[in-house]
Structure 1
Amino acid sequence: MDAAIVENQKAPAREIIRDRRGVLVGVIERQQMVGRQIARDWRGAVIGLYDERSRTTRDMHGRLVGRANLLPALLFQTRL
């Protein structure tokens, strides 16, 4: 009897973002139930939010940043 192996891989719930020197820039948390991703800086403060349904990125004040996932760009922008 042949058995099929089905492997269901999900995206990690937390993605750690580091610069080229290995210094922690922040994390991106995925909330799969609501279809959102939240970017937090190295201190844990919310920097931005990406809504997968509307495909929009908003900053920490709720202002529209763009119509794509720009969370990594927001994380690196806050370091300047």
Structure 2
Amino acid sequence: MIEKLSEYGLKSEHAYAGGFASIALSFVAYFISRARKGDSKAQSDRWGIFIGHWAPTFFALGVALKLEEKK
């Protein structure tokens, strides 16, 4: 799978950028959800955590792609 992603032009830098973007998006989703009327704090927490869980996946893909690039 990593080899195919690399063939399609995905680089490790793209995956790392996706990881950092998901962290930022996690904060944005949390604060937007907190600002909405009727949403509870628990719902805001769930949105932030849900999106925050994407970051480790992107970082792991970045490491795998970096190893693929060194071949």
The TM-score range, normalised by the shorter chain, is under 0.3
Report the TM-score when normalising by structure 2.
0.27
Higher helix share: 2
Between Structure 1 and Structure 2, the one with more strand by share is 1
